[in-house]
Amino acid sequence: MIKNKSVVHISTVRPLSDVRMFYLECCSLAQANFPISLIIHDDPGKRNIGGVSIKSIGKLYPMHLNLNLRLWHRITALYRAVRVSRSMPAKIYHLHDPELIPVGHFLKHVMKAKIIYDCREDYINYIKIRPGLSYIEKHLFVNLLKLMEWTAARCFDAIITADEATEELYKNYGSLNTLIVHNFPKINYFPYEQIKLHKNDKIYDLVYFGSIGRYYLEPAFCIASELKKRGRKIKWLFFGVINELNWACSEIERRGIKDYFIFEGRIPHEKVATKLSSCKIGIVHWPNLPKLQNNVSQKLFEFLAMGMPVIVSDLAGMRPYAKDKPYAISVTPDDYSAYADAIIYLIDHPVHREKMGISARQQVENEYNWENEFNKLKKLYSSLLEN
């Protein structure tokens, strides 16, 4: 193992609980004896978690702030990140947010470091559907981000993506060193003994979790309304960050489906498996939006790790992992009747549902696991540290 070659991960946007950044990448690198530090929003001071040295740039700003205040907080966070990173000389700086691209150029040319940019999703198309921005603001942000991504592709030492479409984007920009590192789950976070223990103890029919915006909630409410028309009361569990909870509660009240939904807050990643063990079916009911067409849901693989059958929108990014697979039912996006058909089928056929779940778990154990992905990341790090 290469020693005395430090690595610093930086995020000015994500919480410490971010699964890809902290639990998968940082903790795994620390366990592999890479000297890892993480610059992030946290309680004041410095601490060590799981072998990862945490350096705070202050607490994360409240999500309810208006756009101008959030932008101001992001700008000041960038300044603090630059100041802290200068005090932590490293061989590699690993960046997790698009606004850190200019910081990456600074660190590369001033600190003479290797720079990795971790682009996990299609940020340009996200801006296009972002609420609260005018047409002119969206146009300006999109073009600025395109320029930043182009410079990252041309200048940084490696670009990491979580899906094939984003990798192709950076290749088209001119990047000569791209790597796909999928958000596959760590098997030890989803112990099979727990799955078997709760085999017959299922409280909820369907589950979805994570950062949950209105464009994930609205399709669920439409599906539930369709099921209600058919006389089926299906219990949904949503847990995580629900950005418009007040609207969601009023909407299910208006539709007469209040008793169909349970909303819970964010829980620690190490407790996700316990929560999922109380659910029968995982659902990734993404609408047909540009932002989502090529994304690959991390939740899909965590459902599979729990031995759960999944119902998935038939979008390009997820098609290779769900279309015609023995553990999944793919549904045309926004076809609420087809979703209802799939849900009713799985609820009414528990034996087939169990067989699909067994196949799902086997797929994760054999292929869709972080242990396989981490070998690719470790090889990249070793290569950059040696040069």
What's the confidence (pLDDT) of residue 62?
63
336 pLDDT exceeds 50?
Answer: yes
Mean pLDDT (whole number) for 25-49: 91
pLDDT (tens digit, 9 = 90+) per residue, 76-105?
889 999 999 999 999 999 999 999 999 999
d(CA 386, CA 382): 6
Question: Across the beta sheet with 204-212, what order do the strands follow?
Answer: 261-264, 236-242, 204-212, 279-284, 310-313, 328-331
Of 280, 300, 282, 303, give the one whose Cα is nearest residue 292: 300
Mean pLDDT (whole number) for 263-267: 94
Mean pLDDT (whole number) for 326-334: 97
280 pLDDT exceeds 70?
Answer: yes
| CATH topology agreement for domains 7-184+369-386 and 187-366 | yes
The beta strands (E) that lie in 51-188 are given as 52-56, 92-95, 114-119, 158-161, 178-180
Mean pLDDT (whole number) for 30-51: 90
194 pLDDT exceeds 90?
Answer: no
Domain boundaries in the chain? Answer: 7-184+369-386, 187-366
Strand pairing report for 7-10 and 92-95: parallel
Neighbours of 143 (CB within 10 A): 11
Helix (H/G/I), strand (E/B), else coil: 24: helix
68 pLDDT exceeds 50?
Answer: yes
d(CA 248, CA 255): 11
164 pLDDT exceeds 90?
Answer: yes
Q: Which of residues 326 and 137 earns the better pLDDT score?
A: 326
Mean pLDDT (whole number) for 124-135: 84
| Burial of 142 per CB tally in 10 Å (0-12, 13-18, 19+) | middle
What's the confidence (pLDDT) of residue 1?
38
User: What CATH number does domain 187-366 carry, 3.30.360.10, 3.40.50.2000, 2.40.50.140, 3.30.450.20?
Assistant: 3.40.50.2000
Q: What is the dihedral of CA 359, 364, 366, 371, to 10 degrees?
A: -170
Mean pLDDT (whole number) for 131-136: 83
What's the confidence (pLDDT) of residue 202?
87
Percent of the chain clearing pLDDT 90 (strictly above): 77
- pLDDT band at 334; cut points 50, 70, 90: very high
Token pair for residue 77?
């966070």
What's the confidence (pLDDT) of residue 198?
61
DSSP track, 242-311: ETTHHHHHHHHHHHT-GGGEEEE----GGGHHHHHTTEEEEEE---S-GGGSS---HHHHHHHHTT--EE
d(CA 305, CA 368): 9
Sign of CA dihedral 104, 110, 111, 113: positive
243 to each of 131, 138, 265, 275, how far by Cα in Å?
12, 20, 11, 20
Q: Which of residues 22 and 386 earns the better pLDDT score?
A: 22
Mean pLDDT (whole number) for 338-360: 97
Which of the residue ranges 42-46, 115-119, 274-278 would you say has the lowest mean pLDDT? 42-46
Neighbours of 342 (CB within 10 A): 22
Q: What is the mean pLDDT of the chain?
A: 92
Place of tokens 């979790």: 209
Amino acid at 173: Y
Topology of the domain covering 7-184+369-386: Rossmann fold (3.40.50)
> Which residues lie below 8 Å from residue 325, measured CB to CB, with a gap of 6+?
359, 363
pLDDT (tens digit, 9 = 90+) per residue, 210-258?
989 999 999 999 999 999 999 999 999 999 999 889 999 999 999 999 9
DSSP track, 160-210: EESSHHHHHHHHHHT-S-EEE---PPPGGGS-HHHHHHTTT---EEEEEEE
75 pLDDT exceeds 90?
Answer: no
Q: Which of residues 122 and 217 earns the better pLDDT score?
A: 217
What's the confidence (pLDDT) of residue 3?
45
Write out the H or E segment, with its range, that includes residue 146: helix 135-155
Of 300, 268, 265, 279, give the one whose Cα is nearest residue 194: 279
Q: If you compute the radius of gyration of the chain from its CA atoms, what whole number of angstroms results?
A: 21
122 pLDDT exceeds 50?
Answer: yes
What's the confidence (pLDDT) of residue 208?
97
What's the confidence (pLDDT) of residue 66?
64
Mean pLDDT (whole number) for 148-172: 96
Which of the residue ranges 67-71, 202-206, 230-234, 263-267 would you say has the lowest mean pLDDT? 67-71
What's the confidence (pLDDT) of residue 4?
43
